[in-house]
A and B are shown apart, each in its own frame.
Chain A
Amino acid sequence: MWETTIDGRTLHFHLAGINNQNFIMHDEETGSWWQQVSGQAILGPLKGRQLTRVPMDEISFALWKREQPRGRVLRPDPRVAKHYAHADWEAGIAKLPVATRISDRRLAFRELIAGITVNGRSKAYRMTDVQSQNPIIDTVGGVPIVIVANGQSVRAFSRMVDGKPIDLFAEPETTSFVDASTGSEWDFAGRAIRGALAGRQLQRIEVLRDYWFDWRAYHPDTSIYSAGLMRQRS
């Protein structure tokens, strides 16, 4: 998700093609080609320029509606509604061939990961790990982080509070988390809702839900989270 204004000019984008299964868009104003996943112009007069990332979230509709009851939702375009993906479309996509120049098979190409980048360091977390270990406590780019899951919804936060990292644990039977030092209760939005830290807000880190091959293509130095590694260390 990108801001479309660059040098005071607002660009208007169209689909222009595909580059190793990540789409290319072109802007009406200059005709430059932009890579969807990176927001970077790869060809044309604006080559090398970077669009500003818009902080976004990929979460379930139920969760979004609960958090943003007054928000608005994009309506289907009736002319093409029949072409929209089915509810189980990810299962279908998983069977499609992969065209890529990537040969890194540490994970299966179509394995779904949650990717984050902190201080220039990228790390991929298998969705299956994110869901089964919820929450994942880790450190990326020198920043202590936590990754939380709620079904398919995934969020990441810095877990620094007053200059000190907190450790979070899932609270059974709820979607909340509890920190080890104060026992405060934190919700899925990273807000402390009860306890000594009530009212505090953890800083968000953007998560990209992606296939391994696509994440790896645009984050060549990425590491992969090994489930259980943090526990062994401590």
Chain B
Amino acid sequence: MSRRLLWFLLLIIAAIALAVVLIPALVIQPFRPQSPRGLEISFALKRIAPALTIVTLIACLALIIKLWRGAHWSRIALILLLIPAMLSAWVARQNHFEWMFNPLAQAGYVTANAAAFVSDSDLVMAVARNGEAAAYPIRQLAYHHLVQDTVGGVPIVVTY
């Protein structure tokens, strides 16, 4: 294969690696409407991203090795093309929504009377099952968005 073709291939593969992680991140933005089709594509890309970005990373590395014997400037270009391939393989393994809204490391509870951190007028989400009662202050839920718990022997997820 000609060097020109190999360069072209490398560019295409690096672009695919970026697109796989960028498209879902751009579709699923707060304060932007999402279409069912957009969500479907994002879901499919997120599912294949961890494996696909490894394949694209290996392919990029192989092509870079093949193209390495070249001019000084071309080596710099090769390294620059490796960056998106590595970055996307890393991003594909992250959940950036959990960077924005950290999940609860370990949900802790106090008795109603000891809950000085909630004021009387604050709203709580409340559940009572099989004689056990629990309250989840909305101000905390509005950040975490979901809390998992077992109330009265029933595993639940509290969502807000």
A and B form one complex: yes
Measured between alpha carbons, how far is A99 from B109 in the docked complex, in Å? 35
Residues 16-57 of B contacting A (Cβ, < 8 Å): 24, 28-35, 39-40, 42-43, 47
In contact, A57 and B117 (Cβ under 8 angstroms): no
- In the complex, B101 has a CB within 8 A of chain A: yes
In contact, B31 and A21 (Cβ under 8 angstroms): yes
Measured between alpha carbons, how far is A56 from B147 in the docked complex, in Å? 14
In contact, B31 and A97 (Cβ under 8 angstroms): yes
Identify the closest chain A residue to B114 (Cβ). Answer: A73
- In the complex, A2 has a CB within 8 A of chain B: yes
B130 CB, min distance to chain A CBs, angstroms? 12
In contact, A20 and B33 (Cβ under 8 angstroms): yes
In contact, A13 and B157 (Cβ under 8 angstroms): yes
Residues 95-141 of B contacting A (Cβ, < 8 Å): 95, 97-98, 101-105, 107-115, 117-129, 132-140
Question: A51-87: contact bitstring with B at CB < 8 Å (1 yes, 0 no)?
Answer: 1001111111110110011111111110110011111
In contact, A73 and B33 (Cβ under 8 angstroms): no
B160 CB, min distance to chain A CBs, angstroms? 8
Q: Which residues of B contact A99 (CB under 8 A)?
A: 30-33
- In the complex, A25 has a CB within 8 A of chain B: yes
Measured between alpha carbons, how far is A183 from B32 in the docked complex, in Å? 52
Q: Which residues of B contact A25 (CB under 8 A)?
A: 145-146, 157, 159
Q: Which residues of B contact A175 (CB under 8 A)?
A: none
In contact, A57 and B43 (Cβ under 8 angstroms): no
B83 CB, min distance to chain A CBs, angstroms? 26
Among A54, A76, A98, A152, contact of B127 (Cβ-Cβ < 8 Å): A54
Residues of B contacting A: mostly: mixed
In contact, B156 and A4 (Cβ under 8 angstroms): yes
Q: Which residues of A contact B151 (CB under 8 A)?
A: 54
- In the complex, B155 has a CB within 8 A of chain A: yes
Residues 79-106 of A contacting B (Cβ, < 8 Å): 79-80, 83-87, 89, 96-101
Known: A4-B148, A56-B126, A152-B121. A73 touches B156 (CB 8 A): no
Q: Choose among B40, B144, B159 the residue with the greatest number of A CB atoms under 10 Å from its CB.
A: B159
- In the complex, B154 has a CB within 8 A of chain A: yes
Known: A15-B103, A16-B95, A73-B118. A64 touches B126 (CB 8 A): yes
- In the complex, B90 has a CB within 8 A of chain A: no
In contact, B123 and A59 (Cβ under 8 angstroms): yes
Measured between alpha carbons, how far is A57 from B125 in the docked complex, in Å? 6
In contact, A1 and B109 (Cβ under 8 angstroms): no
- In the complex, B76 has a CB within 8 A of chain A: no
Q: Which residues of A contact B11 (CB under 8 A)?
A: none
* Cβ contacts A to B, 21 pairs, < 8 Å: A1-B157, A2-B157, A3-B154, A10-B155, A18-B34, A18-B97, A19-B34, A20-B33, A36-B145, A43-B40, A44-B43, A54-B154, A55-B127, A60-B123, A71-B126, A71-B133, A73-B114, A74-B107, A74-B134, A80-B144, A89-B142
Would you list the 10 A-B pairs with minimal beta carbon distance, nearest first?
Answer: A71-B133, A62-B120, A68-B133, A17-B28, A72-B109, A73-B115, A75-B108, A85-B139, A43-B43, A15-B97
